[in-house]
């Protein structure tokens, strides 16, 4: 932390990037901006650039450029600690600079600079473009990040951040894709939360609630304890070759059967993967097919959009059948080393797939659902695939 020159002894902070978005800044600070002196300012000879392959910006020296931002005075030591905790996930550190505020008299400030060895600058960054595309997700992710302030380390947040953003994206997807299905018209508004804790957080998370809910007779239930496993949204795709009339399945070790005590820990299943933040489900399906099995998908058909276990899990599946050229050379091993994946691909004729499904040899629910959907639509797909 730098020595101060403000009214409370703290050096003013210059925010050039996402923290210029006031709702995000207030989430990070844990309080409204009331009582803080906030003004527009310029950091001379610097430019704000998009970080390559990321949604957030970085600031870089550039002669003659002017980086616009907010100059925030009267921050407390607690405010700075919260800001440092949040920014640590982006590998940033505070450094002293001279900025020019609206009044025009240069003054000392501190600014978060990204580690140039980890991030590379790209095109000029636009705050408005970021607000339009990423602000809602970033605010939801920041809410979870700041819940861990004083509980988890900077290193923990950096490690967990992909899943934090995946959970934030899932909550936005849930609202954007809402199709009311309750014949009784019930919704979240009919649930009253008494208290809520995050009981466990690592790659996945577990929340515990004490809540009551409206009953069909118009009364309210007693307060009950309920737990929910928090996964992300996932895209699942069954590659199908309509010319060769066969599918591609992948086999890998799965913790669900292992935890249940099932000897069949290696499972056959479709290609699947978690949606990255801001990624469309079909794009995830295409990416995962290439990563896991080396398959380039053509047309994709939607099988279902559903909760696999709504009584206990937030996981949501986008299930597809994707048309592909499944030549003999695709039966191999694959997966990302960075994610410790060890995946074997299998090419299976349609008739064999149906035998496995009908004899209950298929234990993977999305695979069974996709196989039965394929049985219904197979003739149409084979006709269109041959044309």
Identify any residues that bridge with 73 across adjacent strands, giving them in sequence order: 37
- Mean pLDDT of the chain, nearest integer: 90
Does 134 have pLDDT greater than 60?
yes
CATH topology of domain 13-147: Hypothetical upf0131 protein ytfp (3.10.490)
Q: Which two tokens stand for residue 165?
A: 């953003």
Q: Which pLDDT tens digit goes with each residue over 13-36?
A: 999 999 999 999 999 999 998 888
**Distances, alpha carbon 82 to alpha carbons 8, 26, 35, 142, 202, in Å:** 17, 11, 17, 11, 21
Helix 22-29 crosses helix 77-88 at what angle (to 10 degrees)? Answer: 110
What pLDDT is recorded for position 24?
96
> Among residues 339, 341, 355, 387, which one is catalytic?
339
Calpha distance 234→276 (Å, rounded):
9
Stretch among 12-21, 261-270, 323-332 having the lowest mean pLDDT: 323-332
In sequence order, what E strands does the chain have? 13-15, 37-51, 57-73, 92-101, 107-114, 121-124, 191-201, 205-213, 224-230, 233-241, 246-253, 266-269, 271-274, 300-306, 316-323, 333-334, 343-349
Question: Are 317 and 366 contacting, i.e. CB atoms less than 8 angstroms apart?
Answer: yes
Residue-level pLDDT at 2: 41
pLDDT in tens, 285-316: 999 999 989 999 999 999 999 999 999 999 99
CB 218 within 8 A of CB 207: no
pLDDT band at 158 (very low <50, low <70, confident <90, very high): confident
Residue 229: band (very low, low, confident or very high) from pLDDT cuts 50, 70, 90: very high
Q: Which of 97-106, 124-133, 158-167, 303-312 has the lowest mean pLDDT?
A: 97-106
- pLDDT (average), residues 70-91: 89
**Band of residue 9 on the pLDDT scale cut at 50, 70, 90:** low
Coil, strand or helix at 240? strand
Taking a C-beta distance cutoff of 8 angstroms, is the pair 212, 189 a contact?
Answer: no
pLDDT above 50: residue 3: no
Q: Which residues contact 296 (CB under 8 A, 6 or more apart)?
A: 286, 289, 290, 324, 325
Instruction: Domain ranges for the chain, please list them.
Output: 13-147, 191-230, 233-386
Number of neighbours of residue 197 by Cβ within 10 angstroms: 10
Position 217 scores a pLDDT of 94
Q: Are strands 316-323 and 233-241 parallel, antiparallel or unpaired?
A: parallel
26 has catalytic annotation: no
CA distances from 367 to 29, 250, 264, 288, 335 (A): 46, 11, 16, 16, 19
Structure confidence at residue 4 (pLDDT): 46
332: left (phi over 0), alpha (psi -120 to 50) or beta: beta
329-352 per-position pLDDT tens digit? 877 776 666 666 788 999 999 999
Q: What is the pLDDT of residue 180?
A: 74
SS3 198: strand
Query: Residue 306 in 3-state DSSP?
Result: strand
Q: Is the pLDDT of residue 10 over 90?
A: no
Q: How far apart are CA 197 and CA 214, in angstroms?
A: 22
Q: List the beta strands (DSSP E) in 205-257.
A: 205-213, 224-230, 233-241, 246-253
- 133 and 278 Cβ atoms separated by less than 8 Å: yes
What is the pLDDT averaged over residues 262-271?
94
CA distances from 245 to 105, 241, 271, 353, 378 (A): 74, 5, 18, 11, 9
Give the mean pLDDT of 128-144. Answer: 95
Structure tokens at 83: 């800001």
Residue 107 in this model has a pLDDT that exceeds 60? yes
Which has more confidence, 45 or 92? 45
Q: Say whether domain 233-386 belongs to CATH 3.90.79.10.
A: yes
pLDDT of residue 147: 94
């Amino acid at each position: 932390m730098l020595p101060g020159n403000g009214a409370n002894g703290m050096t003013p902070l210059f925010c050039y990037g996402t923290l210029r978005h006031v709702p995000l800044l207030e989430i990070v600070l844990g309080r409204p901006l009331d009582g803080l002196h906030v003004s527009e300012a310029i950091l001379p000879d610097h430019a704000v650039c998009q970080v390559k392959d990321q949604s957030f910006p970085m600031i870089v020296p550039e002669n003659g450029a002017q980086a616009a931002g907010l100059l925030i005075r009267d921050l407390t030591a607690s405010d700075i600690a919260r800001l440092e905790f949040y920014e640590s996930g982006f590998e940033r550190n505070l450094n002293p600079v001279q900025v020019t505020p609206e009044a025009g008299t240069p003054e000392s400030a501190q600014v978060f600079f990204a580690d140039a060895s980890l991030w590379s600058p790209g095109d000029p960054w636009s705050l408005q473009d970021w607000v339009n595309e990423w602000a809602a997700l970033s605010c939801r992710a920041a809410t979870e990040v700041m819940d861990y302030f004083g509980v988890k380390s900077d290193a923990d947040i950096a490690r967990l951040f992909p899943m934090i953003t995946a959970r934030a994206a899932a909550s936005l997807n849930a609202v954007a894709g809402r199709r009311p299905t309750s014949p009784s018209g019930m919704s979240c508004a009919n649930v009253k939360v008494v208290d809520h804790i995050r009981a466990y957080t690592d790659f996945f998370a577990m929340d515990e609630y004490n809540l009551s809910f409206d009953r069909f007779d118009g009364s309210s239930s007693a307060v009950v304890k309920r737990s929910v496993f928090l996964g992300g949204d996932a895209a699942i795709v069954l590659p199908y070759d309509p010319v060769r009339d066969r599918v591609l399945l992948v086999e890998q070790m799965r913790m669900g059967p292992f935890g249940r005590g099932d000897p069949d820990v290696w499972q056959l299943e479709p290609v699947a993967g978690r949606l990255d933040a801001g990624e469309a489900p079909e794009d995830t399906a295409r990416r995962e097919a290439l990563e896991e099995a080396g398959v380039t998908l053509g047309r994709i058909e939607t099988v279902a959009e559903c909760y696999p276990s709504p009584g206990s899990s937030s996981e949501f599946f986008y299930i597809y059948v994707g048309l592909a050229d499944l030549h003999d050379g695709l039966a191999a091993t694959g997966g990302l080393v960075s994610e410790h994946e060890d995946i074997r691909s299998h090419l299976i004729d349609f008739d064999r797939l149906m035998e496995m499904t009908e004899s209950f040899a298929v234990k993977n629910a999305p695979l069974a659902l996709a196989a039965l959907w394929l049985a219904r639509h197979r003739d149409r797909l084979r006709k269109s695939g041959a044309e």
